[in-house]
């Protein structure tokens, strides 16, 4: 399923956008460093469109680079978010950039690769 997520950016600590699809996902989660940190709010915008907004807690923001992902869970999501779909990424840079920022980016890439591996395994077992 192809997702069309229009990112409206970050304002006053709320990341928002519009998701275009026939049915709303079961849940949309905000993740940070591979862990869910909040559930996004979904509300109908128009036929086939859903407003998505997720609050980013100030506890998650500090000097350096912070990476956040929006993940949509389908109604039939299995354990550990199996089948979750990556909607969007948001990178926030605050304070003085640190040498450690590259580590945050690597962690984000690892989390995305792990998600892809889980999904590929799930698809492989479904087709077998």
Q: Which residue has the higher pLDDT, 105 or 59?
A: 59
Q: What percent of the chain has pLDDT over 90?
A: 40
Instruction: Please report the pLDDT score of residue 73 as a whole number.
Output: 86
Q: 12-23, pLDDT tens digit by residue? A: 999 999 999 888
Query: What rounded mean pLDDT belongs to the chain?
Result: 84
Q: Which long-range contacts (CB under 8 A, 24 or more apart) does 7-16 make?
A: 7/88, 7/90, 10/56, 10/90, 10/92, 13/55, 13/56, 13/57, 13/58, 14/53, 14/54, 14/55, 14/56, 15/53, 15/54, 15/55, 15/56, 15/68, 15/70, 15/90, 16/51, 16/52, 16/53, 16/54
pLDDT in tens, 30-48: 999 888 999 999 999 888 8
pLDDT value of residue 2 = 45
Q: What is the CATH number of the domain that holds 106?
A: 2.60.40.10
**Which pLDDT belongs to residue 79?**
55
Please report the sign of the dihedral spanned by the C-alpha atoms of residue 32, residue 81, residue 83, residue 27: negative
Question: How many percent of the chain have pLDDT more than 70?
Answer: 85
pLDDT value of residue 22:
86
**Distance in angstroms (rounded) separating the CA atoms of residues 121 and 107:** 21
Q: How many domains does the chain have?
A: 1
Residue 17, domain extent: 4-127
- pLDDT of res. 1: 42
Supply 124's token pair.
């492989």
CA distance 118 to 97: 32
């Amino acid at each position: 399923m192809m997702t069309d997520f229009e990112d409206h950016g970050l304002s006053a600590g709320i990341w928002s956008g519009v998701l275009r699809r026939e049915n709303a996902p079961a849940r949309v989660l905000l993740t940070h460093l591979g862990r869910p940190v909040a559930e996004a709010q979904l509300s109908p915008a128009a036929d086939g469109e859903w407003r998505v907004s997720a609050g980013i807690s100030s506890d998650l923001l500090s000097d350096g680079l912070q990476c956040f992902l929006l993940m949509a869970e389908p109604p039939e999501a299995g354990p550990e978010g199996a089948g979750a779909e990556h909607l969007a990424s948001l990178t926030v840079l605050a304070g003085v950039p640190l040498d450690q920022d590259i580590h945050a980016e690597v962690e984000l890439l690892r989390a995305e690769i792990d998600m892809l591996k889980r999904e590929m395994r799930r698809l492989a077992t479904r087709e077998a």
